[in-house]
Structure 1
Amino acid sequence: MTSSSPPRATTPRGSRRQELIKVAGELFHERAFDAVTTEMIGARAGVSGPALYRHFPSKQALLIAVLEEPLNDLLANARKTVTEERDPRQALEAMIDYHVTRSLQNVPSTLVFLKNEHNVPEEERHRMRRLMRLYAEEWSALVERLRPDLSDAQNRVLTHAVFSMINSIPQFNSGLAPDSVATTIRTAAINALLVPPGTV
């Protein structure tokens, strides 16, 4: 979504915080942090600029929420999936599905982090990187069980390459319907992680 998109419809009070996080993520991805104002965020979310401060004490606090809350959600989902689904392939496919769905719904926090890392305090920056590492480890543990032929380094390279592919979804407009994009990316992710070279 570009900055020329029309303002969103007003959302119920209970979902206001998530709507602010969503639109702030889009704006922090589109523009430099200093170029985004609370008025711009509020306008796109359908609230006044001052109303934003009822949910976040500062623009920087909102940026941290944009980064941290999606990472916490992805990690919690991955851990829940691994606990509930004993089949490693089914667990990995479920985690891929969830990550793809999140990337279609919201700008991935990793993209926002890479663009705005210098605006995040050091302590929070280390926390974000730790969350990313823990999430990647959940994937790598499953890939290790499914692809014992891979070295640890190869496992990490593949996992992070798939993350980059999934997270790139919002960066271009393919013209495809969201469900078609999701199917294409899911298939590519499974093939990249689980199909050994020379078998296709």
Structure 2
Amino acid sequence: MKKLVASGRTVEEAVRNGLNEWGVGQDRVNVLVLEQPSKGLFGLFGAKEAKVELELKPDGVEEAMTFLREVTGAMDLTVGIEKLDEREHTQLNLTGSELGMLIGRRGQTLDALQYLTNIVANRHSDKHLRIVLDAEQFRERRRQTLEALSERMAERVMRTRKEVVLEPMSSQERKIIHARLQTHPRVRTYSQGDEPNRCIVIALK
């Protein structure tokens, strides 16, 4: 746990000095008063300043970003991390060159890294955090690919009148397929199998 001792003429000033040194708000710290201020003899001699100890509360997202820097550093990759606070999650976008090895085949490495990042973030947070990890806009490109695939497979089902079983996908990717075809007038979708081999079936209504 990161700690800092700060002093000032009053307890409030000591806390403020400590917060300024870290550049954080008071909601990010626990405060322990070590010494109250005293005026000293005749208000002149032996005066003591207030002394406080600030303890930085853990921040799940910051810990997650530190974890990602350590992992990518161990892989000899120079990676930037852009943080975006969305309504239901925090998105961390990885930027840099040669990020293909972080993405992996169909995003499997990125998904695994996202899973580990969420574990780290929630270990250091007193509220549940959901972190979405992206690299080189892979998530958006993958979404477009899956939506196009779902349309093509729906056409095949209507043409052949036979259901189509897609390859196993993560729950996130299955949601994209389900959402794309949920209002389709002639086909329906459902999932079958167990993780990690759970897949989507597209069939006639």
Greater relative contact order, per chain length (Cα 8 Å cut-off, separation 6+)? 1
Q: Give 1 or 2: higher helix fraction.
A: 1
Normalised to the residue count of structure 1, the TM-score between the two structures is 0.29
Normalised to the residue count of structure 2, the TM-score between the two structures is 0.29
Of the two, which has the highest radius of gyration?
2
